[in-house]
């Protein structure tokens, strides 16, 4: 899977995530779970990222699949048949490859490298997701994420709608030392904002962390936080809990989650990418202590 990359000159000029205030402390790691592998639709491979995690610790997130990473031979790519959604949003982020979609309201389009399709199902919609004809014919890489976000009760019957967010429209920032690059798709990290418009306040970001570097994310104090590893391995939290590809860390209260890549027995691991998401429900509103 391609990491988020920029030229060395661009990296020097990127906006930086601010260093958290000294009074801020790292979030504890509440749990680390490994997503089971399975198949979706007509047979494309997925990792069920949220499997085994109580819904109370995910709210307002409902479900997340890592789609691929898979290298298809010609004729192999698979998609889904027509299927309904209602009362929530599907956020499809293509890391590598292409995915075509079509819906019962006449909408459609192509999601490709670095782009996001944000579909508000609202009162109900039918749609289909398929590999484009050229991918079926020639084969190629397919890798992405699909996240389901619950809608507030007042918005359950909204008219279905789409947001198409191209990779170039997202906000690209770096860690203070330049060792991590972060693509903000929606919400805020410090003073930096992603382009996605949300009905439930959330932050959605994709990070690439170089070996030996670390990323301290200054989440809003009232936000919960999740970290999912797309590839590689590293540590998360102040105590350095090991975490690797296909695992989800549920983080506890306060304002900071720390991630860093690690080394393997074979030498330095490849750049480590984590998929971070957060919601703005206060701990006191839903649980006796903050969940992430």
Cα 30 to chain center, whole Å? 19
Cα 250 to chain center, whole Å? 14
Helix (H, G, I), strand (E, B) or coil at 143: strand
User: Residue ranges of the domains in the chain?
Assistant: 8-286
Q: Pseudo-torsion of CA 253, 256, 184, 215, nearest 10°?
A: -140
The dihedral through the CA atoms of 209, 276, 101, 130 has a sign that is positive
pLDDT at 151: 95
Give 96-136 pLDDT, tens digit per residue. 888 888 888 877 788 888 999 999 989 998 888 877 777 76
Buried b (16+ CB within 10 A) or exposed e, 8-30: eeeeeebeebeebeeeeebbbbb
**Cα–Cα distance measured from residue 37 to residue 21, given in angstroms and rounded to the nearest whole number:** 39
**Cα–Cα distance measured from residue 219 to residue 193, given in angstroms and rounded to the nearest whole number:** 12
Quick count: other Cβ atoms within 10 Å of Cβ 166?
Answer: 13
**Cα–Cα distance measured from residue 222 to residue 283, given in angstroms and rounded to the nearest whole number:** 7
Name residues of the chain where pLDDT drops below 70. 1-11, 22-25, 42, 77, 136, 254-258, 262-292
And the tokens for 172?
């690209």
pLDDT at 291: 30
| Integer angstrom CA distances of residue 203 from 180, 181, 184, 189 | 17, 16, 8, 8
| Lookup result for tokens 């997202």 | 170
Tell which residue, 86, 269, 292, has the closest CA to residue 202.
292
Tell me what percent of the chain is helix, strand and coil, each rounded to the nearest 5.
Answer: 10, 50, 40
**Cα–Cα distance measured from residue 280 to residue 124, given in angstroms and rounded to the nearest whole number:** 25
CATH value of 8-286 in 3.40.190.10, 1.10.1370.40, 3.40.50.11810, 2.60.120.10: 2.60.120.10
pLDDT at 3: 57
pLDDT at 212: 86
């Amino acid at each position: 899977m391609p990491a988020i990359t920029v030229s060395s000159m661009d990296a020097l000029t990127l906006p930086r995530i601010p260093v958290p205030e000294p009074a801020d402390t790292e979030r504890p790691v509440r749990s680390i779970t490994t997503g089971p592998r399975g198949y979706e639709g007509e047979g494309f491979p997925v990792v069920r990222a949220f499997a085994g995690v109580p819904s109370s610790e995910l709210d307002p997130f409902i479900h997340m699949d890592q789609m691929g990473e898979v290298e298809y031979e010609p004729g192999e790519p698979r998609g889904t048949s027509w299927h309904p959604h209602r009362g929530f949003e599907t956020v499809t982020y293509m890391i590598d490859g292409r995915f075509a979609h079509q819906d019962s309201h006449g909408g459609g389009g192509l999601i490709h490298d670095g782009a996001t399709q944000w579909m508000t199902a609202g009162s109900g919609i039918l749609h289909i997701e398929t590999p484009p004809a050229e991918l079926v014919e020639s084969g190629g890489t397919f890798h992405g994420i699909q996240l389901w976000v619950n809608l507030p009760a007042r918005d359950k019957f909204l008219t279905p709608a789409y947001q198409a967010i191209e990779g170039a429209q997202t906000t690209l920032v770096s860690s203070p030392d330049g060792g991590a690059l972060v693509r903000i798709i929606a919400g805020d990290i410090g003073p930096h904002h992603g382009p996605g418009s949300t009905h439930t306040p959330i932050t959605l970001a994709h990070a690439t962390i170089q070996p030996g570097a670390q990323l301290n994310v200054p989440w809003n104090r009232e936000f919960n936080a999740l970290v999912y590893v797309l590839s590689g391995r590293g540590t998360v939290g102040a105590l350095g809990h090991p975490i690797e590809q296909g695992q989800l860390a549920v983080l506890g209260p306060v304002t900071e989650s720390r991630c860093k890549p690690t080394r393997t027995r074979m030498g330095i691991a490849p750049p480590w990418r984590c998929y971070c998401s957060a919601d703005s429900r206060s701990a006191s509103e839903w649980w006796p202590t903050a969940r992430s």
